[in-house]
Amino acid sequence: MAAEEINTGRLLDWIDRPASDRGVSFLGDDRSWRRYTYDELADSVGVAAARILESTSQTTGGIRCVAIMLSSGPQFVAAFFGALRAGCTPCPLIPPSGLQSRSDYLNNAAAILAVARPVALVTEAAHRETAAEAMRRSGAQAPVIDLPASGTPARGPMPELGLLQFTSGSTGRPRGVRVTLANLEANISMIHRWVGFGPGTTLATWLPLYHDMGLIGTLLAPIAGGHDAYVMKPEQFVMEPRSWLECFGRLGATTTASPSFGFGYAAKRLSPSDLAGLDLSGWRAAIAGAERLDAAAMSRFARLAAHAGFRAETFLPAYGMAEASLAITGVPLEEVPAVAKLDWSALRFGEPVRVLDTARLDQGDRIGAGDGWALDCGAPLDGLSVEVIDESGAPLPDGSLGEVLVSGPSVADGYCAGSGSGATVFTATQEVRTGDAGFVRDGRLFILGRIADSLSLRGQSLYADDLETMVATIDGVSRGRFAIFTGIEAEGPAIVALVEDEPGPWAQQVGRKLAKLARDDASVYVLRAPRGTIERTSSGKPRRRAMFHAFLEGTLAAEPIWSNTAGESGRSRGGESRMLAPARQ
């Protein structure tokens, strides 16, 4: 492939015409980069395809799924594209890590494998024993294989399904999304046009490759176009976020994607002096998505990185989900993202949203954490349609709060058999009710949170995402160490704050802040828990439904430290909860 020649979204074309002057670089444990050119990667893909074909030659019928339990690295690229080249459907799994107990990891992996029913599981020596045990627990009968370093390349027929992507699973039930090869290629082409992929585009990422944003947005998109890329492991970013910024300020990367908490984390860990010697003026695109976007965190990063030449218009806030392959909406290049301050007390499903103020992301002095700002997530990408509908499915006028409905060529082929139920529902061919609440203003989509993670009080909608943003401003509460979930208990609506910090004055402040919003219409509980109690999805989101169910069942390992059912005022909303002792603060 000539140096100027760039593909336009066809996912496998690069394998037959690989570039020798471009490639993917991976950060090693010794903090040095190792570059693999596209012709080197193409050779490894062919060898991987041969190994997979050899191991699955006796398997016929159904989805020929190949599970992949590998860390971010060249073997992951070989396994993913090798599965496709062998005529199979890749299914990335979270690799084992020290962040989760072996028992919990095995249970989660086995639950996914039981749904996926793979014909093979590709792993590495360090994970082989764990992979074999997960396969045994799942009841699936498939070989666990390593990839050889060399061999004779092979290929099979072109698969129809390009990816079996398991969603985050906030309810704890795995849901396998059937993403066709056509879905993938359509969405990658949309991303290329939106972000302006072309000669000179170089991507850098720390996102996990088992998650749709990391996999499609930061690995498949550059590889399909034959672009240079720098790939870090998530733990490398956590240990040293400056290494990520060096990709742009020293190595020439132009493009990235991250949840907003990644930008907030970098802003918290780094100071202007840490950016000395970096020139970020060539950073063109920083996609922000995968979660409810935190405008204050992104504004803090913009102010910090401005010392090294970063511009606020580099940010591209976006909205997406696995059920639409990945990207759905996005702010255009070279536009400073807008934010809107909402009257959260007046939110009513199906009714107009009241906007109190507007600003831009570069006006950091106006954007305070927990102040109720919502970030513009942009317009639908070319080929996709977005509507906001009421509970019956009828379209709502612009500016009204409702459920987001998406249709278009990158909407997936549904869930695979055995997947759990959830708020997201495929309603027709290439159409999905997302289960997300939002509104459209001047053609732009604003997302407020998951409908299942909200509570309606006096007709007002309270979203757990927004409550967490407000609680994060309280001293003593560490971002990433708490979660809020809501639901209905025997006594009525309930709001629960689960915090993994030492007891302190923060408990009263959290309780009072939530109780003020709830008034007398909901019970509020503040619980303290040991580190690791908060259940999270593969993308780091709290499993709110699962934790609320554990709360109701009395199986949540947490200590009660405040409630408005038996607090300082002595008042009660129908009796003290069976789980909570009186407040002790």
- Predicted local confidence at residue 349, as pLDDT: 83
Rounded to whole angstroms, the Cα distance separating 30 from 243 reads 12
- Higher confidence at residue 416 or residue 569? 416
Query: Where do the CATH 2.30.38.10 domains begin and end in the chain?
Result: 338-452
Which fold, 338-452? Answer: Luciferase; domain 3 (2.30.38)
Residue 330 near residue 301 (C-beta atoms within 8 A) = no
Integer CA distances (angstroms), 116 to 227, 389, 417, in order: 31, 32, 8
Select the more confidently predicted residue: 486 or 133. 133
- pLDDT at res. 533: 86
Mean pLDDT of 239-263: 95
Residue 365: predicted pLDDT: 75
What single DSSP character describes residue 536? B
Q: For residue range 70-123, what is the model confidence (pLDDT) as tens digits?
A: 999 999 999 999 999 999 999 999 999 866 778 888 988 999 999 999 999 999
Confidence of residue 184 (pLDDT cuts 50, 70, 90): very high
Residue 427's CB: how many other CB atoms inside 10 A? 10
Q: What is the pLDDT of residue 486?
A: 83
Residue 51, pLDDT > 70, answer yes
What backbone phi and psi angles, to 5 degrees, belong to 428?
Answer: -165, 175
User: Does pLDDT of 268 surpass 50?
Assistant: yes
Mean pLDDT over the full length of the chain: 86
Residues of the chain with CATH 3.30.300.30: 474-563
Q: Give the pLDDT mean for 565-582.
A: 37
Question: Around Cβ 371, how many Cβ atoms within 10 Å?
Answer: 17
Q: Are 50 and 31 in contact (CB under 8 A)?
A: no
Closest residue by Cα to residue 460 from 401, 511, 501, 508: 401
Count of other CB atoms within 10 angstroms of residue 397: 10
Closest residue by Cα to residue 530 from 491, 499, 554, 560: 499
In the 8-state DSSP scheme, what is residue 219?
I
Strand partners, 228: 202
Q: Residue 281 — very low, low, confident or very high, per pLDDT cuts 50/70/90?
A: very high
Per residue in 426-435, pLDDT (tens digit) is: 998 899 999 8
Higher pLDDT, 517 or 116: 116
150 or 582, which is more confident = 150
Residue 473, token pair as written in the block: 């401003």
More confident residue, 64 or 516: 64
| Least confident stretch, 325-334, 419-428, 433-442 | 419-428
Question: Whole-angstrom distance between the N-terminal and C-terminal Cα of the chain?
Answer: 67
Percent of the chain with pLDDT strictly greater than 90: 58
Provide the pLDDT for residue 428: 83
Burial-class residue 520 by CB neighbours within 10 Å (0-12, 13-18, 19+). Answer: exposed
Helix (H, G, I), strand (E, B), or coil: what is residue 143?
coil
Euclidean distance between CA atoms 56 and 264, whole angstroms = 45
> For 296-324, what is each residue's pLDDT tens digit?
889 999 999 999 999 999 999 999 999 99
Q: Is the pLDDT of residue 262 over 90?
A: yes
> Residue 538's pLDDT is what?
63
Inter-residue long-range contacts of 458-465, CB under 8 Å, 24+ positions, other chains counted = 458/519, 458/521, 459/348, 460/344, 460/345, 460/346, 460/347, 460/348, 461/347, 461/348, 461/349, 461/401, 461/437, 462/344, 462/486, 462/495, 462/517, 462/518, 463/292, 463/437, 464/542, 464/544, 465/291, 465/292
Q: How far apart are CA 535 and CA 527, in angstroms?
A: 14
Q: Give me the percent of the chain exceeding a pLDDT of 70.
A: 89
Span of 20-29, 470-479, 549-558 with lowest mean pLDDT: 470-479
One of 2.70.70.10, 1.10.1370.20, 3.30.300.30, 3.40.50.150 is the CATH number of 474-563, namely: 3.30.300.30
> Which long-range contacts (C-beta less than 8 Å, at least 24 apart) are formed by 571-577?
573/491, 573/492, 573/520, 573/523, 574/491, 574/492, 575/491, 577/489, 577/491, 577/523, 577/525
